[in-house]
Structure formats: structure tokens, C-alpha cells
Amino acid sequence: MTKLGLLLLVGLLFVGCSNQPATILVNGTGFDIDQIAQGQQLYSQYCSSCHGVNGEGQFPSAPTERDATGRFGAPPHNGNGHTWHHGDAMLIEYVRNGGISLSDPVNWYPMPAFGEQLTNDQVMVILAYIKTFWSNEQRARQAEITAAENGVRTNPFQVNPGS
């Protein structure tokens, strides 16, 4: 076997054994590795200060416990968190409009609305990047939730729906 053939074989084995698919879907749109890298940069800029560089959450050692102020921190987005329990439309809406924390700052650190700061495409590449924190099984389950959710929500990019 030539060196080139051996390199190709090793490369194929590496890609075949990777936990990450070549494309990740968000709201029915596929994102490739280059787009996911853009999502990583945006996540670092807008999300990591609260949710952690690797999606570990604001309080990684006790993500479901209140801190000294009595509030819950920003949740983990990695496989230990619950982000993958929500469909894409809900996640998009949460990023664009802010979260429950805005209406209950006594119990939660505020999740700001990013609908005026991030474009729809930027929100989607951030979510594609977040999905790289999950296992194949978690991504598959989240895709099922997204499919079920699509019959309920019509436009996740609407800022402040219902107002």
C-alpha cells in the first residue's frame, strides 16, 4: 500500500469514527463544518460567558442548584444539559426573544434577547455549533422533537410573537 493510500484509509477511518456528522440540521437547513466553525466563533462571542466555553453551563459543578443569590445559573448546552430536549423553533425563539429568566429574575439569571443583535442565519449557525456538544442519540431525539414541534410553530424568527 502506498503512503497516499494509507493516508486516505486513515482519514476515512477518522471521519467514519467521528461523533460529528458532516452536516447538522437546524430548522430543516443543513450546516457544514465551515458554517459550524462560524457558529463556534459566534457562540464564543455571545454565549460562552454564561453557558461555558464547552457548553458546561454557568455553574458546571451544580447546574441544577441555586447559587448564593438563590438563582439558577445559565444551563449547560452540552449533553449533560436539557437544551437537546427542546425543538429548534423553541430554541430559536428563546435566543431571539430571551427566556423565562427575563420575566423571573428573582429565580434565574437573565437570558437576554438577541433578536436585534444576531441575524437569523447567525442564530442558526450558533445552534448548529451547540448541537456538536451532543451525542448522535441526543441529536436524533432532538430532531424528533423538532419534527413534532414543526406542526405547532410557524415562524420561529418572529421577534416577540403574539405582540
pLDDT, tens digit, 9 for 90 and up, residues 130-140:
999 999 999 99
- Return the pLDDT at 152: 54
- 55, 133 in Cβ contact below 8 A? yes
Distance CA 109, CA 102 (A): 8
pLDDT tier at 63, thresholds 50, 70, 90 = confident
Who contacts 86 (Cβ-Cβ below 8 Å, separation ≥6)?
Answer: 94, 142, 145
- Return the pLDDT at 99: 81
Report, as an integer, the average pLDDT of 118-124.
97
pTM passes above 0.75: yes
Distance CA 51, CA 57 (A): 4
- 26, 127 in Cβ contact below 8 A? yes
Report, as an integer, the average pLDDT of 107-135.
95
Q: Which of 13-27, 30-44, 73-87 has the highest mean pLDDT?
A: 30-44
Report, as an integer, the average pLDDT of 26-53.
97
- Return the pLDDT at 26: 96
Q: Which residue has the cell 458546561?
A: 56
- 48, 144 in Cβ contact below 8 A? no
Query: Greater confidence, 117 or 63?
Result: 117
| Domains present along the chain, CATH in parentheses | 20-149 (1.10.760.10)
- 94, 131 in Cβ contact below 8 A? no
Nearest Cα to 86, choosing from 36, 135, 132, 127? 127
